Amino acid sequence: IRVWGGGVIEKEEFYELCDEFGIMVWQEFIQSSSGIDNVPSKRPEFLKLLAQTANTAVSEKRNHVSLTFWSGGNELFTPDCVPSNFNDENIAMLKSIVDKLDPDRLMLPTSPSGPRVWRDYENLENNHDIHGNWKYIGTEEQYNFFNTSPIQLHSEFGVDGMNNLDAIRTVFSPKNLKVDTVANNLVWRHHGEWWDTYEYRDKPLFGEIDDLETFIYVSQFMQAEGIRYALEANRRRQFRNCGSIVWQFNEPWVNVSCTCMIDYYNHPKFAYYTYRDAMKPLHISLKYDKLTYRNGDTFRGGAFVHNDNDEKYNNIKVIISDEKGNVIKEFCCDSAYDFEFSIDFSENERVFYAECQIIGENDTILDTTKYMYFILSDSNPYADINAAVNYVKNYNY
């Protein structure tokens, strides 16, 4: 778990729980880019305060076994997007404190540590430790980004989604409890700057939505789909990718929309459950190219077993079914494999499913993951909103 530099040095109770449950902690010192100025401050008064807090933090936290490494701060980099390093006066000072008080602990100069801040498409060797994206970037683009990713450590990324309705009700008056946008409503903007999913993603895909609860279901479905696919794609690159950290796990106050997976009141959003399942030690995932299809398209899939503990299993299955549950295709193999088939459904069918299973002894299902895809047509250019809502409602919680 990464404790972000724009936040706090966590309390003792947090570290004690991490010690007890074996949770590795990435603790950043308290400084972060502002989105306007990303260069670490060299102001004497700031460096003095930073040194005081760093000395206290290292002295207090160094005996916790959960503390895995320190980081100089969040997204500190030069104007040409090169992460700060230990030659920077600010970062060098922090490194000297760690070397003196906690010399056996690892330290990163900043997060990401680079050699570039964002994904470098032209120089693949530069994608060691990067940040981004934080939005679902398209029904094809999202999958192409992660299917072709060269990222070795994806230390910050995410997808935005609406908050839980019960949480929103605690801060919104009745007149604001309707489908709206950050651009149009200042109250929404106050609780959701940057994370407006309706105009950029949900309306173009599902059409106009006039019910707030329905909108929340749809927005949370898309957030969960994006986060799950990113995690599974990174895990499929095992030994070429060493980790993924979703921004963000929880929120510090009630948002209307955000990238968090747990709301302010510690209630999970839907993305929490797909995140949970994508990270299981024994898990089956499916590689695919896009979320929406038309009749005549070819669906290309690749099943993969994530097996951290080398558990025994007999084979894997991928079952393709229509929206009524009728089996269209079934693929079976004893290991990871690729397959494809032509999309050929009736004019009225709007979705289809791919259910992946790991089969153990006596046909026991050891893990199952069910994916949903939308069929678009000229008469129905939008994805089936009811199917998205039902997928969330009927998930295996």
pLDDT over 70, % of the chain: 100
Q: Count the Cβ atoms, other than its own, within 10 Å of residue 303.
A: 23
Read off the pLDDT of residues 47-84 as tens digits, 9 standing for 90 and up.
999 999 999 999 999 999 999 999 999 999 998 899 99
Nearest of 225, 227, 233 to residue 202 by alpha carbon: 225
User: Which residues are registered as beta bridge partners of 70?
Assistant: 27, 107
Q: What is the pTM of this model?
A: 0.95
- Category of 247 on φ-ψ map: left (φ > 0), alpha (ψ -120 to 50) or beta: beta
| Pairwise CA distance, residues 375 & 194, whole Å | 30
Preceding amide of 248 cis, omega within 30: yes
Q: What is the pLDDT of residue 36?
A: 79
Read off the pLDDT of residues 261-295 as tens digits, 9 standing for 90 and up.
999 999 999 999 999 999 999 999 999 999 999 99
Read off the pLDDT of residues 369-381 as tens digits, 9 standing for 90 and up.
999 999 999 999 9
| Pairwise CA distance, residues 66 & 181, whole Å | 41
Read off the pLDDT of residues 143-159 as tens digits, 9 standing for 90 and up.
999 999 999 999 999 99
Contact 119, 143 (CB under 8 A): no
| Pairwise CA distance, residues 256 & 202, whole Å | 15
Task: Let me know the angle formed at the C-alpha of 102 by 99 and 103, rounded to the nearest 5 degrees.
Answer: 50
The band of 98, judged by pLDDT with boundaries at 50, 70 and 90, is very high
User: Which residues are registered as beta bridge partners of 234?
Assistant: none
Read off the pLDDT of residues 316-364 as tens digits, 9 standing for 90 and up.
999 999 999 999 999 999 878 899 999 998 888 999 999 999 999 999 9
Q: What is the 3-state secondary structure (H, E, C) of 293-344?
A: ECCCCEEEEEEEEEECCCCCCCEEEEEEEECCCCEEEEEEECCCEEEEEECC
The band of 119, judged by pLDDT with boundaries at 50, 70 and 90, is very high
Mean pLDDT of 296-315: 95
